[in-house]
Chains A and B, each alone.
Chain A
Amino acid sequence: MVTSHICWNCKNKVDPKNLFCSKCNKIQLPKTLNEFELLGIEEIYNLNLEFLENRYLKLQKMVHPDKFSNLSDKEIKYSTLLSSMINDAYQKLENKNSRANLILTLRGFTKESESKSYNDPEVLEEIMNIQNRCLETDSLQSKKEILKELDYKISNTSKGISESFDIEDYKNAYKLNIKLSYLEKIKNNLKML
């Protein structure tokens, strides 16, 4: 259901995936694109981060307000908005956790369709366990060890999420993603200690 929109400047029909009018080259403001579409990348969980960053920088180089400073107020406003949207999309896609949430939403999986709280006793125990060890850590050595373990757990969980997406088991992806968010939070807290 790709509906084209009309260029604000020359009234030409513009493909909503294009950020610039093909006729007059003016910047456009597509409101209907999701984060993946905005960055022009495939809607998958396993993203190549380097590729993502390159796409992001290439787009910012086209739409950033620095490029529009000597143009009309309207173009400055549109470029600021578009640049903001791309920044936001990039941040969401760069982070595994929010990326998984995005895909879940796009596939129609909502938190409401699941039980709201997440009570897998085994996982909770695992989280509590590592959390307690973080609180007790006193040496740089033990901090490093826990960080290493956390990284291992994070990568495993992420792998699990990826596999769940492959077989379209969104319920499991959702659960693992909550676990991932806990692990990331613990890791960040530990890093800043």
Chain B
Amino acid sequence: MNLINIKEPNLENDSKLCIGIDFGTTNSVCSVKLNDDFIYILDKSGKELIPTIVLYDDKEKFFGNDILKGKKYFDSIFSVKRKFTENYDKKIYLNERNNKISPVDVSKDFFIYIKKICEDFLKQKIFDCVITVPAYFDEKARSGIMKAAFMAGFRVRRLINEPTAAAFAYGLEKKKRGIFFVYDLGGGTFDVSLLKLSDGIFKVIGTSGDPNLGGDDFDVLFTKWALEEKLKIDLDNLSEKESLRIIKHFKLIKEKFANTNHISEELNINNSSKKITINIEEFHSCIEPLVEKTIQIASKLLNEVDTTIDEIDGFILVGGSSRIELISKKLKEIFGTQIFNDVNPDLVVSKGAALHGYELLNGSKNILLDVTPLSLGIETMGGLMEKIISRNSPIPVIKEQTFTTYENGQTALKIKILQGERETSTNNRNLGEFTLNKISPKPAGIPRIKVMFSLDADGILFVTAQDEETGNESEISIKTNENLDLAEMRSIVESSIINAKDDIEQRMLIESKIKAKSFLNEIESIKTEIKLLCNKNDQENIEKNIIMLKNTIKTNNCDMINECIEKLNKSTESFAQKKIEKDFSQVLGKGINELS
């Protein structure tokens, strides 16, 4: 067990601070290394586990332990992290002012909150952090987390994988060497990573998992079973809020099984009290299928990376849900190897991030050699995926691929980037499309466009292209359908940190700049359409406002940027109107005026 260090942080240090953030599905943990001290950061209530929950309520917002277990508790947003494997820009929540917001926005607010906790605790400004993500998160989920942290004003020094972070902290603390399996069962995700720990190098051999399998799923399964078996109640028939409340109750029962074999409790369902008794065997047989599933993923990974169980020095159990006794029992039974559970599974991930963050800013003694969890490829003609970087390749990695045209005189080429292990492209995650423009017109198959796909040490994708003939990189422009790439966002954060006087000002500046850049990107992508639909006067007006906005971004004046966005928006109104008319007439075959 880690003892929580509660002594006052040593502020007379010259090392640069970098917070290690474990942004979890259920709980988040922040920690930091200051010279020779390592400390977990405590919130106002003195706790190191900060529930990852957000409550938007009547013009106010509440977070973590500040949300009291009262009536409104179950109106909170739980498990927002799970949304990152879906479309996280979709506005599915309402904030305190009743505006529709996305999972990224909610996470941004949560990151702002934990930034404040860190600053209050350490009594100084904080910008740098290392954030952990599930190893099995795809590129898109990683970008989403990074965006949320950027928008909160964090300078993200590195994203590292949760099991890697755990192994890093564990290896350093216990001075372990050898090959270890990290079994990481969090609230919403499951990861396994096989690592080789040697002097100064933490090398990931392979990683696998399920981004949508975690303690939450155990809770739901257990609740469903218990209600049906013991009380003849169908969980699906309860209201959403009521079922959430009951599931949280069963989560507590699940945790009690760590210390007892038998539970007998009063349960309040739909305003009537019911008695329920469950023994541990029943609980185990109920959750066994999910435990089996995790073990299968682990066995499959061993096979895949050509490692036998005899070569492994042990399992390191990480993540709050790994406390379930059945898990270590099953692992021991099937793999017959040592199980290490002598670290706090809730805290060790954050610690790894903080230790790594310290080294990144103050000189590294150790390197983390990680791998990409999923293959990266492009869609080919028949809707299949052609792999370019295969899963479990060490990162950073760069691969080249040459493309050509298939029509005479073709000047543009659209390429769809995919991530996943399935053969057909629709079964994999679509990371976005980009277009190679300004290819010099030639007969089909003659142009040779060299495209470089690189995954950096964060697992974030960058694409660059070059016409092999001219060797000119700038001649070809690449636009993905993402509004803003992370490099752009990173530089916005950098410049805002340097220029802003206080936190709120800094964040508003970041938001305005991001909005401005996204808007500029959007307009850039429809430039040809603008030329087609607008008269010369409108075009010139738009062009003038674009230049003005571009110049204002550099001034770091938030109000002026917003004003210029508004101006540019106004100048494109006539275009928007014409576009609607055009789209209408395309659909209906006649002009909008003829409709009535």
Contacts and interface: CB of A to CB of B under 8 A. Distances in A.
Q: Is this pair of chains taken from one and the same complex?
A: yes
Interface of A: 57, 60-61, 64-67, 69-70, 80-81, 83-85, 87-88, 90-91, 191-192
Given A61-B200, A64-B367, A80-B457, A69 B393 contact: no
Interface in B360-399: 360-364, 366-369, 393-399
B81 interface: no
A120 to B, nearest CB: 28
Contact of B396 (A69, A87, A191, A192): A87
Interface string B438-474: 0000000000000000101100000000000000000
A81 B398 contact: yes
B303 interface: yes
B578 interface: no
Contact of B457 (A61, A66, A90, A191): A66
B456 A69 contact: no
B394 A87 contact: yes
Given A57-B201, A61-B201, A87 B303 contact: no
A87 to B, nearest CB: 4
Contacts of A88: 397-399
Contact of B397 (A60, A66, A84): A84
B367 A60 contact: yes
Nearest to B400: A88
Given A61-B200, A91-B394, A70 B362 contact: yes
Contact of B398 (A61, A64, A84): A84
Q: How large is the interface on B (under 10, 10 to 19, 20 to 34, 35 or more residues)?
A: 20 to 34
A66 B303 contact: no
B217 interface: no
- CB-based closest 4 A-B pairs: A69-B360, A84-B398, A87-B394, A66-B367
A83 B200 contact: no
B363 A65 contact: no
Nearest to B494: A73
B203 interface: yes
B157 interface: yes
B87 interface: no
27 contacts: A57-B201, A57-B203, A57-B369, A60-B369, A64-B367, A64-B369, A64-B457, A66-B360, A67-B367, A69-B360, A69-B364, A70-B362, A80-B396, A80-B457, A81-B398, A83-B396, A83-B457, A84-B395, A84-B397, A84-B398, A84-B454, A87-B394, A88-B399, A90-B394, A91-B394, A191-B303, A192-B303
A23 to B, nearest CB: 22
Contacts of B200: 61
Contacts of B366: 66
A109 B301 CA distance: 36
A90 B363 CA distance: 26
A69 B398 contact: no
